[in-house]
Chain A
Amino acid sequence: MNANDKGVSLSFLEEAYEDTPEPALVQGLLQTFESNAQSIQAKPVAELLSRVSSAPQKYAPFFGRVSQMLQLDEQEVEKLLSDDGFKRSPLAGISYKTCNSPALTKGLAGTVVRFQPKTRYPRHNHAHQERLLILEGGYTDDSGTHYGAGDLHVMDPGQEHDFVIDPDGPCVAVAVADEKLQFSSPFLRILARLIGR
């Protein structure tokens, strides 16, 4: 008796009666509910998915974590994760958007970074701990570890690394890292100094 044809559980009735409850009674209860609760035509799943297919709503599951990371309230996070306002980085295939979060430790900046597929981020290290939360896509770092959407990649101070973005799509991540990265290549160090990053 554990159900009707819609898979609704009525196991509590079985438990409440020492023997099986009268079938007529159970049927009556089901009918009462069914006559009250007409089924409705649910909207197509495509309509729901179209509402979460573009930024910022497609990143909504991360609003809470990003808000904690950047110490911003969720409305500001939602604005930050919209598609507009990205600046192109001098490094090919990378654009970014910085956020002003006064609550972050001095010397650290919060950034939303968007990488094109196959982009290689040059070798660098950090004076502070760097944290990178991946919202979309993924990359593989030089140790061979793959990081994908939902992963938080934590890199300790002084840990030198580089990574390559997956070939099958762009990668979007939120980073809390040094305002000024220390690139390993002397050329990039000079370039970074010149452009103030």
Chain B
Amino acid sequence: MNFHLGTRQHSAVSAETGHFGRPLPLSLMTHAPRAPSFFSVRFRATASTMWTDEELVEKMTRGDQAALGQLYERYAADIGRLTVSLLKDAALAADTVQDVFLEAWHRADQFDRTRGTVRAWLIVKARSRCLDRLRARTNKKEVSLTDTGRGKIGSVEQSIDAMHLPEALMHVSPEERDILLLGYFEGLTCEEMSQRLGIPVGTVKSRTRSAMEKLRNFWETQS
């Protein structure tokens, strides 16, 4: 759709400096007239299929809807597997995926590549949206059944695990489960998990091994 974004590199400088409220030094105002030749349009159309995730998010901060579309095509299925596993409702899960991407569209400028990958950023959003939906569901139930106002955040987080995760995962401790979920859904390495959870790398590894051991025992008793 928007194939001429490649020419905006120069002006990105002005966007950056302007963002921090400093007037742009004249020396940085490189002349960058657009050259909408047939060749350049065709070339960029081809190149646009190879944007990295980070580049797509950067384009989204400039209002590029095609970039949002590409990101969706790349990750809607992944995010869908997470939302349906938490919500257990295909229609609701598909709606939630769209909400996640709309939020990413709105908040594209908050993405910070030093804090993780685009995929992890989307997954964190998806997890929050699922929690919101589950909270809403829990609150509704509680209003109709009792008025004790229980339905605290912690209980919803627990109920995700208790209600929806498969039985095998019930046989590992919550700490071990976190490791498996982070490792699987977010694709984090041991080092990244150690930073995220604030525990030593050695602990991440020992929890992984002990979780896998418990899973093995569970599967053996099953079969």
Contacts and interface: CB of A to CB of B under 8 A. Distances in A.
B64 A149 contact: yes
Given A42-B77, A43-B76, A45-B69, 11 more contacts: A37-B81, A39-B84, A40-B84, A146-B33, A147-B11, A148-B62, A149-B64, A150-B12, A151-B14, A153-B14, A154-B22
Interface string A62-75: 11110000000000
A150 B61 contact: yes
A115 B3 CA distance: 21
Nearest to B208: A16
Interface of B is mostly: helix
A150 B208 contact: no
7 contacts: A15-B190, A47-B98, A52-B68, A61-B108, A149-B8, A150-B15, A154-B14
Interface string A28-45: 110011011111111101
A188 interface: no
Contacts of A97: none
Given A52-B102, A152-B19, A15 B205 contact: yes
A18 B42 CA distance: 49
B59 to A, nearest CB: 9
A120 B31 CA distance: 19
B106 interface: yes
Interface residues of A, number: 63
A16 B80 contact: no
Determine which residue in B33, B108, B187 has the highest number of CB atoms from chain A within 10 A of its CB, and name it: B187
A25 B183 contact: no
B219 A28 contact: yes
Contact of A140 (B33, B98, B188, B216): B33
Interface in B52-105: 60-65, 68-69, 72-73, 76-78, 80-85, 90, 93-95, 97-98, 101-102, 105
Residue from the set A36, A38, A136 with the largest chain B CB neighbour count within 10 Å: A36
B93 A40 contact: yes
B19 A61 contact: no
Contact of B166 (A32, A61, A146): A32
Interface in A78-130: 129
Contacts of A21: 212
A48 to B, nearest CB: 5
Interface string B187-223: 1111001000000000011101100100110010000
B66 to A, nearest CB: 8
Given A37-B85, A45-B73, A146 B11 contact: yes
A15 B15 contact: no
Contacts of A36: 85, 164-166, 169
Interface string A1-39: 000001011111101110001100100110011011111
A55 to B, nearest CB: 11
Nearest to A74: B106
Given A12-B179, A63-B106, A43 B14 contact: no
B216 A28 contact: yes
Contacts of A32: 166, 168-169, 215
B46 interface: no
Given A61-B62, A152-B19, A146 B98 contact: no
Contacts of B10: 145-146
B11 A151 contact: yes
B11 A43 contact: no
B98 A152 contact: no
B81 A28 contact: no
A53 interface: yes
Given A144-B31, A145-B31, A136 B63 contact: yes
Given A21-B212, A29-B212, A29-B215, A144 B61 contact: no
